[in-house]
């Protein structure tokens, strides 16, 4: 039986070379991809970790269900992108127990130092204790506590997916020497209040007044913008508390809001 001709051998050799070349290209891309993947964590670690607990659709977007979350069709919140330029967001469901602040203490060397509570749900007794201990131990907190949330939601009142319309944080605020008041006769509509050089948009905002603290729970709060905000030194830590959350309105993105959010985080998270 005659062997293959030279032309057939040439074709077979060419195919083998092409396949080897294609395989080499694939391997090269795989190696490059693995290298990028391996580098990604160290790049992300350059950002400071920031714990986030909120009923606002900042992290996941306002999704109607898991299918919408998985599909990625939920409208992204502008604040998430703004925060993730500087911080590695760590979403929290609880502040106490193994999944709370104790868990975060082990995620980074030295523990997490920064926390954002944006219109959170009512805290349990254990969570109030954990939060107080964490701040007094040196934690830095930015808290938006709106007594009458004006942000639009696609979910009706009573739906658990709806953001917290009225804040319930009296126990922890009282411990820090603050009482949250709300004037029902104030006019509706967004306006700007000044926190030093920072223009803060507010709508149906609350106001803080100073209350007494227990001797073992010393805290020193300074009221800002006629009481709409309070800057508190609590033990070795600090909390900047805003009695409004209109700044975080998902339907009002823009550079001015991003700049204001950045200014607030710098004010409370920067060491001094």
Q: What φ, ψ does residue 8 adopt, rounded to 5°?
A: -65, -40
Last residue of a domain, one of 15, 30, 46: 46
Tokens of 121: 């749900």
My answer on whether 52 and 23 are in the same domain is no
My answer on whether 143 and 65 are in the same domain is yes
| Residues 80/248, Cβ–Cβ less than 8 Å | no
Report the share of the chain in percent with pLDDT over 90: 58
Domain with 33 in it: 1-46
pLDDT tens sequence across 177-232: 999 999 999 999 999 999 999 999 999 999 999 998 878 888 999 999 999 999 99
Count of structural domains, the chain: 2
My answer on whether 11 and 118 are in the same domain is no
**Residue 39 pLDDT level (bands cut at 50, 70, 90):** very low
Between residues 135 and 155, which one has the greater pLDDT? Answer: 135
My answer on whether 97 and 217 are in the same domain is yes
My answer on whether 53 and 38 are in the same domain is no
Report how far residue 132's alpha carbon sits from residue 126's, in angstroms, rounded to the nearest whole number: 10
My answer on whether 149 and 16 are in the same domain is no
In this model, does residue 1 exceed pLDDT 60? Answer: no
Please report the pLDDT score of residue 76 as a whole number. 87
My answer on whether 180 and 121 are in the same domain is yes
In this model, does residue 174 exceed pLDDT 90? Answer: yes
My answer on whether 113 and 21 are in the same domain is no
DSSP codes, the chain: -PPPPHHHHHHHHHHHHHHHHHHHHHHHHHHHHHHHHHHHHHHHTTSEEEEEEESSTTSS-S-SSHHHHHHT-SPPPHHHHHHHTTEEEEE-S-SSSTTTHHHHTTTSTT---EEEEESPPPPPHHHHHHHHHHHHTT-EEEEE--SS-----SSPTT-TTS--SS---HHHHHHTTEEEE--TTSPPS-EEEEETTEEEEESS--EEEE----GGG--EEEEEGGGTEEEEEETTEEEEEES--GGG-TT---HHHHHHHHHHHHHHHS--
| Residues 75/58, Cβ–Cβ less than 8 Å | no
Tokens of 210: 């100073």
Please report the pLDDT score of residue 271 as a whole number. 61
| Residues 148/202, Cβ–Cβ less than 8 Å | no
**Residue 111 pLDDT level (bands cut at 50, 70, 90):** low
CATH no. for residue 214?
Answer: 3.40.50
Rounded to two decimals, what is the model's pTM?
0.78
My answer on whether 40 and 57 are in the same domain is no
My answer on whether 85 and 219 are in the same domain is yes
| Residues 262/78, Cβ–Cβ less than 8 Å | no
My answer on whether 90 and 10 are in the same domain is no
My answer on whether 172 and 155 are in the same domain is yes
């Amino acid at each position: 039986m005659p062997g293959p001709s030279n032309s057939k051998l040439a074709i077979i050799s060419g195919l083998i070379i092409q396949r080897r070349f294609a395989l080499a290209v694939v391997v090269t891309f795989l190696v490059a991809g693995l290298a990028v993947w391996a580098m990604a964590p160290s790049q992300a670690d350059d950002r400071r970790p920031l714990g986030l607990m909120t009923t606002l659709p900042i992290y996941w977007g306002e999704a109607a269900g898991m299918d919408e979350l998985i599909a990625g069709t939920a409208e992204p919140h502008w604040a998430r992108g703004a925060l993730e330029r500087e911080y590695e967001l760590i979403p929290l469901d609880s502040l106490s127990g193994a999944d709370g602040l104790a868990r975060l203490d082990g995620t980074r060397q030295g523990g997490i130092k920064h926390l954002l509570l944006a219109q959170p749900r009512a805290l349990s007794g254990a969570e109030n204790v954990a939060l107080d201990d964490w701040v007094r131990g040196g934690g830095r907190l930015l808290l938006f506590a709106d007594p009458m949330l004006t942000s639009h939601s696609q979910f009706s009142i009573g739906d658990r997916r709806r953001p917290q319309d009225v804040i319930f944080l009296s126990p922890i605020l009282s411990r820090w020497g603050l009482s949250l008041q709300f004037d029902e006769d104030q006019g509706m509509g967004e306006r700007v209040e000044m926190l030093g050089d920072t223009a803060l948009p507010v709508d149906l905002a609350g106001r803080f007044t100073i209350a007494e603290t227990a001797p073992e729970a010393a805290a020193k709060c300074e009221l800002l913008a006629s009481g709409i905000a309070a800057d508190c030194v609590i033990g070795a830590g600090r909390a900047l508390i805003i009695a409004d959350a209109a700044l975080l309105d998902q339907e009002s993105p823009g550079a001015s809001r991003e700049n204001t959010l950045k200014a607030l985080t710098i004010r409370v998270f920067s060491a001094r």
